[in-house]
Amino acid sequence: MSTHIRRAAPGDEALILSFIRDLADYEKLSHEVIATEAHLTATLFCDAPKAFALIAEDDGAPVGFALYFFNYSTFLGKHGLYLEDLFVRERARGCGAGKALLAALAQIALENDCGRMEWSVLDWNAPSIAFYKSLGAAPMDEWTVYRLTGAPLAELAKAAT
């Protein structure tokens, strides 16, 4: 297989959504996917997108994707690249597509003078954890991720008015 990484473009919405659904299925979170192709068009391919995607292709066939955005580190005084999702279809795992996606992201991070690249992984996902560690990534065990969604997010927003 010959892996090629390209930036996602308008017209890739159905493909990206299929990767998102495959990832959600793998992570046993299919019930949480509410994204549509229209959402992806509006957020990834608008005039000023805040998130971006890469597509991995092997011999011209799409086999994986990465979705990322830029954040900011006050301690570093630099932007960072945050990898929201990385997924490679099972048939292509172990063939270099995941590493090629991460290498392309590392290149984008350096081109944008980012001080770091980060992502989260489910604690039960041993194959991914081993893969990330093999690349030199280090877990941030001392940090806990918090999230507000739905009603709690709306309730807190009311405090701003």
- At residue 14, φ and ψ (nearest 5 deg) are -65, -40
Tokens of 126: 């041993």
Q: Are strands 116-119 and 78-88 parallel, antiparallel or unpaired?
A: parallel
Residues with a catalytic annotation lie at 132
Nearest to 55 by CA among 94, 10, 117, 114: 10
Q: Which of 114, 86, 118, 82 is nearest to 99 (CA)?
A: 86
